[in-house]
Structure 1
Amino acid sequence: MKNLLRVACLLLVSMTAVQAGQAREQGFRASLSVSPYTEMVIRKGMIFTDGATRAETTEQLERMFRAHGGTEVYTRVATRWRTQPGNGDYSLDRALERAVLAKALGLPFNPELGLFSIYGDIRGEPAPDFSDYPLITVPGAWHTLTLEQMVSALTAYGSSVSRAILNTGVRVLIWDIGNEVEFGVAGVAPRPQDPSLFNQLGGYQSPDRIDPEIGRMSEETLLKMSEADRIAWLQAHLWPVEAKLLAAVAAGIRTVDPAARFSTHLSGHAALAPKLAVAFFEAMRDGGYQVDEIGLSYFPTSSWSPPDRLEAFKNTVTLLYRTLGRPVFIAKYGYPSGPMSDPFPWNATVPQYPQTPSGQAAFTYDLSAWGISSGMLSGIRPWAPELADFAWRPMAFFHAEGHLATANPALDAISSALRARSSKGSLDEMHAPGSP
């Protein structure tokens, strides 16, 4: 009943395109955006509808997201310029298409520079491949380079990729660097949880000229350590180097965009490990890389621990904000509208939020409303909201029947929270009694 009341509130305050424009002026980043998978879904014949309009192209879908409060266009960028085989298109070619789209729609662009050749995340961080950049000279295999040589290449990359993006005429408000990087970035990382991420590179290679201890450590071993021991090892062997690598990319971008702002995000594991998250960003700051927005992934149903994962996440955000003086951006978010099986069986349902369309909407609304009212969240990015007919489908903001994907109530959850905040009524009036 509580969730039904919240969903009813969502429907009552669903925003028109004019209201969505008002929400954009609030400054909260409602990063409801097409993803690296959009073209793949559309090629299969998927048509999207919100009940009033239909979207059969990437541009039409982004316009739909904009009408429901989306404030920016996002893309993930690998270091290869052309499309490579894999799940999703992270090429620079695709990123430049997204930049052109953002400019045409009058939206800012948010590129995420992964610093991997094709893809990497908390399960493993492969090395970059700059073979598509003739002006970037790398004197040997990446794992054989010194720190100074890596820094030089990454600075050149930051300059080259940012110039290519800004030459489209698009406006970039913030540059994201890395994808879930608490255990390393740009090939400087322990042995991976998922070795398959390195298949196209011939396997994992230890960066011994940086520190031989990195290759002797595995992510599996790190995760089995106590939190204090894990932080201590990362502080001693990895994070000081990582700060220099990230700072190098930022320095390259600033040669093209002197006023550039930056964000980097950690995994969902770090989102519920506040001491580790704080220690990471302190190490980055102390090593010369200061973020403007702290990034976290957050998938509440991915683990049963701790029991109250919404409260635990709020505690992490609060500690980060108060310790570091920076807002937190949720760089990847999803709450399933049904049972998850593949690629991950993330079914640790949060109490009071069933894995149903109404539960998905209620959790998204309540999380957004708290972030907006507290001032500690700068925004939220629902991850791949259009993947309605693949394994990720419970996390999508649409449900598919055949080739028609119809919007779930969650499509309006973030914009509704913004609308409630800007209205004369208080957020408390939007909640059912006893809701989180």
Structure 2
Amino acid sequence: MASIELINLHKRYGEQSVLNGINLKIQDGEFVSLVGESGSGKSTLLRTIAGLETHSSGEILIDGESAGHLLPRERKLAMVFQSYALYPHLSVFDNIAMPLRMQCKRLHRTPIISSLLPSSRRVKANIEERVKIIAESLHILPILHRRPGQLSGGQRQRVALGRAMVRNPKAFLMDEPLSNLDATLRVHMRRELVQMHREMGSTFVYVTHDQAEAMTMSDRVAVLIDGELAQIDTPDTLYRVPSDLRVAKFIGTPKINVFDATVQKGGVIAFNKVKLDRELVTRIDHTQGAKISLAIRPEDASIDASGEGHLKGKVQHIENLGSEALVHLQCGQSQELIVRCSPCLAHSLSSEACYSVRFNEQQLHIFDNNGKRLAQQQNQVNEGRAYEFS
């Protein structure tokens, strides 16, 4: 196991900056996911930690010691690639055994060390024993004789994990390892990876564009946007208290609803011809006339039968998802609003009809003109979503 720390890490390709001052500390035994859109820098960051990419400036520490100058194999980290990178002409056994055999070859090239090594027969027996232990833990013992072309996607994934595990690395670095699997198998493998992490207690750094993977598997999630670390937090805090409007928009399915608003006299907030003037909002310390953004999750908005909601919207489309429904409404000329509700309620709504929508004002997220969260502090992390605006 190992801790990994990045200090002011930068990566450039010529004039193009890919990673911009990344500061990140991953604790020993922690499961941290790196998420972001394509091109956000998450895979580059992982490859830089592994030593497959050189960083332009900054520092990489593994177990508190500088590792930026070390070769990939000297960092003792295991990389699991999206493509699995298995040798097609070798059996499952030989694929998993390959790192150990390569390690033995390197040791035998050093005369002093070579003289202290056990016999080749003993080395072979040790490798076979280690491979079988790993294969048994991954439930692939019966397929050790097969080649990658004869395996399913899930089996190939397990072989790739086995090859990473066999040399007992300090940490596992995984680059979109489940993206090539179908939806059902992906959910199954998510559970297996979480269980594996619990049993091994190793450090996992996991890259994915799928926020559902990150939110369900990780101790903490790091959101990368345009090469910057926008926020790192627990999945719950990331969803409930996004520090940045970009993070709020990225995390959550369906996406959060965002409205342009203005601070008026006395701190009253006006948006979409509606004014919010309760104490929770008037304590926002912002100048009159300032442009801000209000954001509300679809589950924190509701269709109000009394007609006295915050605004009105015309039903454009209803997505029935079985256990729930998403109602898409148009408010004004171009503002779209998504409300999460029960299928029963959605069934009672008429297409193109107008309905009143009410917000749970306790759950309004307020951001300044630069997208930064406005003076909001989490009040009760473990007892519901209550926030104090100061």
Higher fraction of strand:
2
Higher fraction of helix:
1
> What TM-score comes out, normalization by structure 2 length?
0.29
More contact order relative to length (CA 8 Å, sep ≥ 6): 1
> What TM-score comes out, normalization by structure 1 length?
0.27
